[in-house]
Amino acid sequence: MSEERTKAEDRRERVLPIAEARETGPDARSIDRRHALKVMALAAAAPGLASCGPGPGGEAGAAGASAGAGGIPAGGTPGQVTNPNARGDLWDPDLLSPVVPWQRTLEPGELESLAVLCDVILPADDRSPSASEVGAHDFIDEWVSAPYEALQEGGVLIRGGLVWLDREARTRFGNGAPSASVRFRDLTPAQQQAICDDICDPERAEGGPFEAPSLFFDRVRYLTLTAFWTTAEGMDDLQYIGNTPLTQWDPPPPEVLRHIGLA
Amino acid sequence: MSSRTQDSYDAIVVGSGAGGGMTAYVLACSGLRVLMLEAGRHYDPVAETPMFHLPRDAPLRGGGTRHKPFGFYDATVDGGWEVPGEPYSSAEGTDFRWWRARMLGGRTNHWGRISLRMGEYDFKPYSRDGLGFDWPLSYDDLAPWYDKTEALIGVYGSNEGLENTPNSSPGVLLPPPAPRAEELLTRHHCGDLGIPVIPAHLAILTRRLDAARIARTLWPGNALAQRVTEESMAARAACFYATPCGRGCSIKANFQTPTVLLPPALATGNLDIITDAMVREVTIDARGQAAGVHYIDRNTRLDEHAGARVVVLAASACESARILLNSKSSLHPDGLGNGSGLVGKYIMDTVGAGVGGQIPALENMPPHNADGASAMHLYMPWWLYQEQAGGQLDFARGYHIEFGGGRRMPGFGFMGGLAELTGGSYGQRLKDECRRYYGSFLWFDGRGEMIPNEDSFCEIDPEGVDRWGIPTLRFNWKWSSHELNQARHMQHTFADIIQAMGGRVTSDVHDDGARAIAAPGVIIHEVGGAMMGDDPRTSVLNQFCQSWEVDNLFVTDGGCFVSNADKNPTLSILALAWRASDYIAEQLRTRSL
């Protein structure tokens, strides 16, 4: 409700409204530039971070210019039908047989660490598998590798954050061991939680030493939520019912009306 | 698509969206030979619509990008806020966003399907409050074409008899779908606030159309029109309540011109369509009348010319203004039909502001199908007429409320705000919170009337040119306090509704209307720029969308709008285009043109 722009507001800008039942997403416009500045600040503050990201690439090019030659299929089953009317570039993609036309850029070690973090964020339980078991870390790789400036800035944040996590692991739990021997992904669940408890709430972390890492954690969590709940396992867990043709549309069932007190 | 097969035409129609689609349909059904020029590519919703495709099958889980701002599966080709190779600019201090689509059917492929009639007040706003301008026609003048349009395209809704919210004639509307749980709960609590919540009007078939009866009613005495209309209508299925309308509809259950208006028009044998034809200017003959159009064939990049007895622009409000302004000659030095100097002037968008909320009563909802007709089943028409008349509000004109939420299919950004709402939760707790909160978020959007002003206009950018060599537009924009105060009122009202429902407001509610209001163009209801009127000195067109100065030149898109009521413009564009097309057909028949 504040009239001043807050970090919370910056974060909320990534959570687009469901207005008019339109499908929404990470429009580059929706991610505030100030957020990118914070990313840069994080990179500058942590030694070794500046060199590991893809860098602030230019604005994504015009039609087709930025599509790599990868042709990596998307996470799901590519459609059996293709659309001959579509040009197949980013402005006019084949909607019937979608592909991710850019190369993924994260390195194997980064993906390994990311998978562990994704599972800390959404672990397996008796209703569904963990986030990494349904490929959340691969989706984040797809996201940070996309030919969009704001998403690549997110990639800088995430890659830098992974380095920070390992450094924090070494600082807290390394016991003076040689630098490469302790990584976040090797910690015990309790140790991982100890670190994450400090960076899980950007509002609480604001202005303190964990501010930048909290933005990293928040971004990974945001993407992990999308990645996990959009899978078949995630939708089953939620008991989403729909996307299936009906012969007629009925009012909500009685148990639903009772639930909202309108029976 | 089809190449030209005839040497001359009665009419050239520029654009294949709502205005162009309706114009071509009516003229072709009236026995006139029509050439339609569409700047974008051929598009076939039956073959191309990604029905049932899941977010997980798409790049970025279907989320929006600069290439596909409304998501990967959105039925927009070569469009969005930018079109490759076709820039536009904004004057300093203006942040106008111009949405275009380069495809057969234009924006009717992805539009929201919300189909609200303008009411009697909406045609005479100046007479009511002294602001803006009156239309040169009344609600009663247009009502028959509203009926015909609704019967033709299929609109669900109900007649509630509310102020300035017109009833349709009996038997015109299709039955509205039963409300969803969250809609019922919202209606329940809005009752306490005195806000009416009634069935929305959307161009979606809740049952098959009675094709033979409707075709006979729409086209008495016209066997050709009856036959093509009936056949096309009979090929449309009823909604099966799955897969978002914004992707288009392969079973033709919702309205888009490539499934509803262009097939019958083509079936008359009177319509040819050329796609990839980017119109640059209207050409004139020695008398200064329209002779045809120059267009660039996007495939060959060559300039072509097509001639006709009548030229109808329906390229979208701003694109039609651009064509007129670029049609300069010694007879028309300021652009064609621009003797009033008003081409491009008085552009309006809709006032938009939104607020989200989380409703505890909707948590842990028993699983059930909440897809429905994809868009809203209920809405709130403007209700504060008496308060406004009594001077209790600090803005003129009204807004309606669109809202939604509930247990929809997870897509990009799903549960994105939950961590913040739950104190930064992660781990097993976050997973459990997602289950608990799923379906408990609602979003409210206001859609309100902007009053036309002389600081909001488009003009030719002296420095801009697109990849077809055509001079581009520059936009200028200013809101008045009416729009800003209205946007603030929207946000505070939505917060009141959410709180009345026992919920938490999850987005910002601003006291500064300039921060509440959506940027101009973002609501994608831009209209005006070729205003109709009853005086050639103060308007571009007469009430039949006919240029005052060039008798055989018409503009049948949103450009002719005089005001921009809170009612979403597409239905009115369709009805006005039909009325204008009847006039064109009559004028051609009597050789007046």
pLDDT band at B76 (very low <50, low <70, confident <90, very high): very high
For residue B422, the chain A residues in CB contact (below 8 A) are: none
Q: Check whether A63 has a pLDDT greater than 90.
A: no
Distance CA A259, CA A261 (A): 6
For residue A143, the chain B residues in CB contact (below 8 A) are: 60
Q: Check whether A15 has a pLDDT greater than 80.
A: no
For residue B513, the chain A residues in CB contact (below 8 A) are: none
Question: What is the pLDDT at residue B237?
Answer: 98
Quote the tokens at residue B349: 């968008």
Q: What is the mean pLDDT of residues B188-212?
A: 98
For residue A99, the chain B residues in CB contact (below 8 A) are: 59
Residues of chain B numbered 416-445 and touching chain A (CB < 8 Å): 416-420, 423-428, 430-431, 434-435, 438, 441, 443, 445
How far from chain centre, in Å, is Cα B317? 11
CA angle A35, A36, A41 (to 5 degrees): 95
Task: Verify whether the Cβ–Cβ distance A62 to B178 is below 8 Å.
Answer: no
Helix (H) or strand (E) holding B309: strand B302-313
Q: Check whether A4 has a pLDDT greater than 50.
A: no
Quote the tokens at residue A85: 């009317």
pLDDT band at B209 (very low <50, low <70, confident <90, very high): very high
Q: b/e for B98-127, b at 16 or more Cβ within 10 A?
A: bbbbbbbbbbbbbbbbbbbbbbebbbbbee
> What does pLDDT average to over chain A?
76
Task: Verify whether the Cβ–Cβ distance B184 to A249 is below 8 Å.
Answer: no
CA neighbor of B534 nearest in space, from B12, B126, B22: B126
**pLDDT tens track for B55-74:** 999 999 999 999 999 999 99
Q: Check whether A151 has a pLDDT greater than 60.
A: yes
**CB-based contact, B65 to chain A, within 8 Å:** yes
* Domain B1-137+248-350+454-478+526-593: CATH superfamily, name plus number: FAD/NAD(P)-binding domain (3.50.50.60)
Question: What is the pLDDT at residue B593?
Answer: 81
**pLDDT tens track for B111-140:** 999 999 999 999 999 999 999 999 999 999
**pLDDT tens track for B454-465:** 999 999 999 999
Task: Verify whether the Cβ–Cβ distance A93 to B72 is below 8 Å.
Answer: yes
Distance CA B545, CA B23 (A): 11
More confident residue, B497 or A11: B497
pLDDT band at B4 (very low <50, low <70, confident <90, very high): low
B259 SS3 class: helix
Task: Verify whether the Cβ–Cβ distance B354 to A19 is below 8 Å.
Answer: yes
For residue B426, the chain A residues in CB contact (below 8 A) are: 120-122, 196, 200, 217, 221
User: What are the boundaries of each domain within chain A?
Assistant: 7-57+104-239, 67-101
Task: Verify whether the Cβ–Cβ distance A23 to B64 is below 8 Å.
Answer: yes
The residue assigned the tokens 């300021």 is: B334
Percentage of residues in chain B with pLDDT exceeding 90?
98
In this predicted structure, which of A1-10, B287-296, B358-367 has the lowest mean pLDDT? A1-10
Task: Verify whether the Cβ–Cβ distance B409 to A229 is below 8 Å.
Answer: no
CA angle B52, B55, B57 (to 5 degrees): 85
Distance CA B356, CA B446 (A): 12
Q: What is the mean pLDDT of residues B422-436?
A: 98
Distance CA B234, CA B255 (A): 14
B445 SS3 class: strand
**pLDDT tens track for A212-252:** 999 999 999 999 999 999 999 999 999 999 999 999 999 99
pLDDT band at A1 (very low <50, low <70, confident <90, very high): very low
**Strands (DSSP E) along A46-167, which ranges?**
72-73, 99-100
**pLDDT tens track for A157-211:** 999 999 999 999 999 998 876 666 799 999 999 999 999 999 999 999 999 999 9
Question: What is the pLDDT at residue A174?
Answer: 87
User: Phi and psi for A154 in degrees, rounded to 5?
Assistant: -60, -35
Q: What is the mean pLDDT of residues B295-313?
A: 97
> What does pLDDT average to over chain B?
97
Question: What is the pLDDT at residue B8?
Answer: 86
Give the chain A residue whose CA is nearest to the CA of B409: A240
- Chain A interface, mutation test: which of B42, B53, B57, most A Cβ atoms within 10 Å? B57
CA neighbor of B345 nearest in space, from B524, B476, B449: B476
CA neighbor of B519 nearest in space, from B107, B74, B93, B87: B93
Q: Check whether A140 has a pLDDT greater than 80.
A: yes
In chain A the first and final C-alpha atoms are separated, in Å, by 34
Distance CA A127, CA A239 (A): 11
Residues of chain B numbered 92-121 and touching chain A (CB < 8 Å): 112, 114
Question: What is the pLDDT at residue B592?
Answer: 82
Give the chain B residue whose CA is nearest to the CA of A18: B443
What's at B74, amino acid-wise? Answer: D
Question: What is the pLDDT at residue A80?
Answer: 63
Question: What is the pLDDT at residue A179?
Answer: 60
Distance CA A246, CA B85 (A): 43
Q: Check whether A51 has a pLDDT greater than 80.
A: no
User: Phi and psi for B582 in degrees, rounded to 5?
Assistant: -60, -40
What's chain A's length in residues? 263
**pLDDT tens track for B139-148:** 999 999 999 9
Neighbours of B357 (CB within 10 A): 25
* Nearest CB neighbour to A12, from listed B62, B243, B507: B507
Q: Check whether B190 has a pLDDT greater than 80.
A: yes
Residues of chain B numbered 27-56 and touching chain A (CB < 8 Å): 41-44, 47-50, 52-56
Distance CA B202, CA B150 (A): 10
For residue B568, the chain A residues in CB contact (below 8 A) are: none
CA atoms within 13 A on the CB side of A122: 34
Distance CA B20, CA B29 (A): 14
For residue B409, the chain A residues in CB contact (below 8 A) are: 235, 240, 242-243
Question: What is the pLDDT at residue B3?
Answer: 55
User: What are the boundaries of each domain within chain B?
Assistant: 1-137+248-350+454-478+526-593, 181-198+352-448+480-516
**Strands (DSSP E) along B266-301, which ranges?**
271-274, 277-284, 290-297
Question: What is the pLDDT at residue A7?
Answer: 39
Q: Check whether B20 has a pLDDT greater than 80.
A: yes
Concatenated DSSP letters of B522-558: TT---B-SS-B-S-TTS-SB-TTSBBSS-TTEEE-SG
What does the DSSP 8-state code read for residue B202? B
Percentage of residues in chain A with pLDDT exceeding 90?
65
Give the chain B residue whose CA is nearest to the CA of A237: B435
Give the chain A residue whose CA is nearest to the CA of B97: A29
Task: Verify whether the Cβ–Cβ distance B424 to A204 is below 8 Å.
Answer: yes
Q: What is the mean pLDDT of residues B183-194?
A: 97
Give the chain A residue whose CA is nearest to the CA of B509: A1
**pLDDT tens track for B314-342:** 999 999 999 999 999 999 999 999 999 99
| Cα-only R_g, chain B | 23
Q: From the CA of B63, how many Å to the nearest CA of chain A? A: 4
How far from chain centre, in Å, is Cα B469? 28
Question: What is the pLDDT at residue A81?
Answer: 77
CA atoms within 13 A on the CB side of B262: 34
Question: What is the pLDDT at residue B5?
Answer: 63
Q: Check whether A20 has a pLDDT greater than 80.
A: no
CB B208 within 8 A of CB B236: yes
Q: Check whether A62 has a pLDDT greater than 50.
A: no
Q: From the CA of A77, how many Å to the nearest CA of chain B? A: 7
Q: What is the mean pLDDT of residues B404-422?
A: 95
Q: What is the mean pLDDT of residues B495-524?
A: 97
**pLDDT tens track for B239-292:** 999 999 999 999 999 999 999 999 999 999 999 999 999 999 999 999 999 999
For residue B405, the chain A residues in CB contact (below 8 A) are: 18
Q: What is the mean pLDDT of residues B172-195?
A: 98
CA atoms within 13 A on the CB side of B506: 27
Question: What is the pLDDT at residue B1?
Answer: 54
Question: What is the pLDDT at residue A240?
Answer: 98
Task: Verify whether the Cβ–Cβ distance A200 to B441 is below 8 Å.
Answer: no
**CB-based contact, B70 to chain A, within 8 Å:** yes
Percentage of residues in chain A with pLDDT exceeding 70?
68
Q: Check whether B580 has a pLDDT greater than 50.
A: yes
